[in-house]
Chains A and B, each alone.
Chain A
Amino acid sequence: MASRNNIWANLDWLTIGFYILLVFMGWINIYAAVFNEEHSSILDMSQRYGKQLIWIIAAFALAGVLILIDSKFYVSFAFPIYLATILMLVGVLLFGSEVKGAKSWFQIGGFAFQPAEVSKLATALALARFTSSYNFKIEKMQSIMVIGAILAIPVALIFLQNDTGSALVFAVFSLVLYREGLSGTILFLGVLVALVFILTLILQPLVTISLLTAAAIIIYYFINPKFLLALKAVAIAATIFMALWLSNTLLKLAIDTNKIILISAILASIIFTVYALRHRINQLLLIIGIYLMLVLMTFSVDYVFNNILELHQRARIEELLGIKSDPLGVGYNVNQSKIAIGSGGLAGKGFLNGTQTKFNFVPEQSTDFIFCTVGEEWGFIGTTSVILLFLGLLIRLIFLAERQRSVFSRVYGYSVACILFFHLTINIGMTIGLAPVIGIPLPFFSYGGSSLWSFTILLFIFLRLDASRMEKLSY
């Protein structure tokens, strides 16, 4: 058994170094973002930077406590913690208070607490616990179902709280599962679905479906490189569509062009299915299946987009995709954020010399848009340094996860890396106009105790697991 002293020595101080550096840089930038001359002391407790310092100190203390907790605790209590979190998520729906349209906060005295923050940690623990159990096999349907349930329950509850941003974070667990053997096809399908969703919003259905048809034929050609066959397929698809379209026009049937496209796609699929069944070509069946699914999806996208997404979410996506441009409205934040970052230049305007992140040009400048302050005052050198620091931390976390002897620790480690990855991708992406505006914080950087603490807990549980990786984790 490792003694307490060994635990401190076994900690990965490189990761802790990354952590401290990021937290410190965040604090400095919060100071710059809300700087005001009347309270120019960075220790002024009436200001956000003063409060952030208190939260940082508390986070360090929290980290120290987590290191002292035996790592077996997390294994034994993974499921109880998960269950408690689910109960809290239900509780917040019933008794929580609403902040900015999301009913996701518990207000206890002056302290606000968001169960969704904890749910990422709890889900990571539950996932790690389940995938490390003996009867887990990623190929087994039963295992997939359990994993689906572990993920779906918190996601559904968080969606009900109207906190889409936090719910989307759970998508990143698919990357963790990929490492544990989830088929790459499923991951690829997920990306494909997202791609088609975006294409449908930008392009006409005719173009999208033509592209999909072409893609299906090309993919099949790569699997079974017979040029004549591919050409035949193109001819068949085109003939069906032209026949339908011509009869519609000539007979003045007044059928919607979109319906004709859909009908031709389905007719073509039927023909190819019959062909595939007769020749027993399984790959072709799979391609047709995926193809049909995506075609149907293009027709449901409009419905999802217009009926399921909320107005502001739709507007943000439209803005991002350039469908509608509204630089003073929805696009305002991103536009101001890009101006702030862009005006930083190579070396930045210098500490406290930003003009755009002062005066509240950029809203939420100390929370979700803290990266703007980095961009404006520290320039390209500053933004690149922050991104490289984060990348360094992520790569280090993968390295640490891979050296674990237990599946539990590895899965948990990947979860930590992937959750951080998702946050910083969306957060930095939205400030530079590459991701929709989803209100999620930049880990360790953004102002706020709740987010700093939850990322600290997330990370330090893993560092504790890593420090005792030589111990056998028994259940």
Chain B
Amino acid sequence: MDKYAKRQYIIGVIFALIAIIFIVRLFSLQVLDSSYKKYATRNVLRPVINYPARGLIYDRNGDLLVYNKAAYDLLVTPREVSAFDTTQLCSILKISKDELVQELKKARKYSRYKPSVIVKQLSTEMYAMLQEKLYKYPGFFVQTRTLREYAHPIAAHMLGYVGEVNQSQINKDPYYAQGDYIGITGIERAYEKELRGHKGVSYFLVDVHNRLKGAYNEGKNDSAAVLGNNLTTTIDAKLQAYCELLMQNKRGAVVAIEPSTGEILCYFSGPDYDANLLVGRERSKNYQMLLADTLKPLTNRAISAAYSPGSTFKTINALIALEEGTITPQTTFVCGGPGTKPISCTHHHESPIDLVGGIRESCNPYFWNTFRSIIGNYPKAEDGYKKWREYVESFGLGQRLGTEFYGQSPGNIPQASYYDRFYGRHHWNALTVRSLAIGQGEVIVTPLQMANMAAVIANRGYYIDPHLVKSISDPDNNIHQLDFKRSDCMVHADKFEQVIEGMQEVIDQTNTRYTAHVDGIEICGKTGTIQNTHGADHSAFIAFAPKNNPKIAIAAYVENGVWGARYAAPIASLMIEKYLNDSIGAPNRLATEKRMIEANLLNPNQKK
């Protein structure tokens, strides 16, 4: 019936024929011809990561702050390792045999196929010596990468440091691999994505003897590393260095801001450390040392310290009362000096006293009355308090500022509900919370917030988000200027003049003039003394200058500085003078400078 049935055999034979051809071909390829085995041994692929240099960091005037230097890591791919002369390798690397064995074990545990670092950051001599002998150690190879180097030993807290990524960072961002560096604090962290650039990878063929046989696939699979973007910061390196000189051997913080732009000119937390300590082979040892230091040099007090604003806060209360209309510049209050109820004054002075005088004399009773008038402006104390709090927050207090500051404390302006819980609802009033009138009590601020508050006063009612980076430039030198948000304070510009007048009289007419007055510069400031139950009181000072068209606003905190005029005011005024005049002029100023530099408040018994 089916005359073509016998064709099934022809088709079957065709199938079998192809199978036989293939098997014969495979036999010659796999069994007879041994050349492919040789090719394969030459065909070991080594991916070498091209680490881009991290972006450079400049100060506001183009002065280089951070750059890179080459470093060499010795890596190993465990599965490619065969027997080698361990003694010789150890002697080149200057490590013990145990250490080497230990590292190899760790590498094998991590991955047999993927390279691991055996020794980090070889010295140049070690690298040169190793390079010659590397062919004797199959599986080992050297990878070049860059380390941070700091041009000046300044601004460690601002710059931050880089370190190796941890597992959770790798899990979060697949860009990172074991051993990569990442910004851990400061702007190294805030601008990590700009600074890091983009890793590339080159594939090389090496033979079993670890000899380079050239690029794999003519480098078609390679990708070049893309350099990181450079940052121009807002910091004035000279001012920063001067600040660090003045603040040596002191605990505290200084932040200076250009009021019109929000650019941070100086950003210091003391005691600090030399950023170069956290680079290189000694990094982890140094880090442990800094961590163990009881002075906590790794703590960035400029953004994380919990300070009371002290009397500097009186300026804010005055401005709020003026805006609320509960006082006028002409309003006077009576002060009985020390012993006045409910808040005692620090000294005797003219009485009754008006606003300008009240600020000049830092009169506690004056500001108690001012504060009471704000709270009393509303039928219920809690409503008055809520309004007051709203004003205070509009000065940038009680909140984190900007976006660049990791570990920033928001400070604290207590909610009304806090007092409700503490005293019971409706069971508290202005009198209960009277310490707020003079910047004591529950109000907590950071030096950054205080500097920003000074900028608000200097600007007569607004601030630009304080920031550390002005612009970013890519490797092709395209510059991208960053924009920052402006926030207006609830107090209008016309209310500021008398307060500023009072601040100027603080500098020109009180005892503060001996340490803070500078001929030719109209400085407006306010001192503060913060009670400290653990030792000498802290010295605080806010200021801006010149009075009209201010160029710098500053906040200084000196722990155990006894009172405002003693350390914080002279240091801040010296910085203002240095920034505006570029040098310290008068002999009395030079004497003040010397005194500040020499003061050791960390260990007062030990003179430097």
Contact = CB atoms under 8 A, between A and B. Distances in A.
A175 interface: yes
Given A359-B45, A380-B26, A179 B113 contact: no
A179 B4 CA distance: 6
Interface stretch (A84-92, A390-398, A460-468): A390-398
A346 interface: yes
A-B pairs, top 9 by smallest CB distance, nearest first, are: A342-B36, A343-B40, A359-B45, A380-B30, A391-B19, A339-B39, A342-B29, A37-B111, A343-B37
13 contacts: A37-B111, A175-B11, A175-B14, A178-B11, A340-B40, A342-B35, A343-B36, A343-B39, A345-B31, A356-B43, A383-B30, A387-B22, A429-B22
Interface of B: 3-5, 7-8, 10-12, 14-16, 18-19, 21-23, 25-27, 29-31, 33, 35-37, 39-41, 43-45, 47, 111-114, 217-218, 221
A328 B40 CA distance: 15
A402 B128 CA distance: 74
Interface in A423-445: 425, 428-429, 432, 434
Contact of B22 (A346, A418, A432): A432
Given A339-B40, A425-B18, A432-B25, A179 B11 contact: yes
Interface of A: 36-38, 175, 178-181, 328, 332, 336, 338-346, 355-356, 358-361, 375, 379-380, 383-384, 387-388, 390-391, 394-395, 398, 401-402, 414, 417-418, 421, 425, 428-429, 432, 434
B37 A342 contact: yes
Contacts of A429: 22
A194 to B, nearest CB: 14
A380 B37 CA distance: 13
A398 to B, nearest CB: 6
A417 B16 CA distance: 13
Given A361-B43, A361-B45, 16 more contacts: A36-B113, A38-B111, A179-B4, A328-B217, A332-B217, A341-B26, A344-B30, A359-B45, A360-B45, A380-B30, A384-B23, A387-B23, A387-B26, A398-B8, A402-B8, A414-B11
Contacts of A375: 26, 30
B336 to A, nearest CB: 76
Contact of A434 (B15, B22, B39, B112): B22
B113 A37 contact: yes
Contacts of B10: 178
Contacts of B12: 395, 398
Contacts of A402: 5, 8
Contacts of B44: 355
Contacts of A398: 8, 11-12, 15
B34 to A, nearest CB: 8
A379 to B, nearest CB: 6
A449 B104 CA distance: 41
B30 A341 contact: yes
A238 B335 CA distance: 135
A228 B29 CA distance: 47
Name, among B3, B25, B27, the residue most crowded by chain A CB atoms within 10 Å (CB to CB): B25
Given A342-B37, A343-B40, A181 B45 contact: no
A338 B8 contact: no
A160 to B, nearest CB: 30
Name, among B16, B26, B41, B112, the residue most crowded by chain A CB atoms within 10 Å (CB to CB): B26
Contacts of A359: 45, 47
A342 B15 contact: no
Contacts of A391: 15-16, 19
B36 A338 contact: yes
Contacts of B29: 338, 341-342, 432
Contacts of A379: 30
B36 A339 contact: yes
Nearest to A180: B4
A11 B492 CA distance: 91
A271 B348 CA distance: 139
B418 to A, nearest CB: 48
B30 A339 contact: no
Name, among A36, A342, A398, the residue most crowded by chain B CB atoms within 10 Å (CB to CB): A342
A355 B7 CA distance: 45
Given A359-B45, A387-B22, A402-B5, A346 B30 contact: yes
B26 A384 contact: yes
Name, among A38, A332, A343, the residue most crowded by chain B CB atoms within 10 Å (CB to CB): A343
Nearest to B37: A343
Contacts of A355: 40, 43-44
Contacts of A421: 15, 18
Contacts of B26: 341, 375, 380, 383-384, 387, 432
Given A361-B45, A394-B15, A346 B31 contact: yes
A434 B25 contact: yes
Contacts of A336: 43
B7 A178 contact: yes
B132 to A, nearest CB: 27
A175 B5 CA distance: 13
A28 B472 CA distance: 51
Name, among B23, B26, B30, B35, the residue most crowded by chain A CB atoms within 10 Å (CB to CB): B30
B311 to A, nearest CB: 60
Name, among B14, B15, B37, B111, the residue most crowded by chain A CB atoms within 10 Å (CB to CB): B15
Nearest to A340: B40
A330 B23 CA distance: 25
A32 B16 CA distance: 29
Contacts of B113: 36-37, 358
Contacts of B111: 37-38
Contacts of A178: 7, 10-11
A391 B7 CA distance: 17
Nearest to B40: A343
B7 A37 contact: no
A111 B604 CA distance: 74
Contacts of B23: 383-384, 387
Nearest to A397: B15
Nearest to B27: A380
B44 to A, nearest CB: 6
A38 B35 CA distance: 33
Name, among A332, A361, A398, A429, the residue most crowded by chain B CB atoms within 10 Å (CB to CB): A361
B30 A387 contact: no
B446 to A, nearest CB: 42
Nearest to B221: A360
A345 B39 CA distance: 13
A417 B18 CA distance: 14
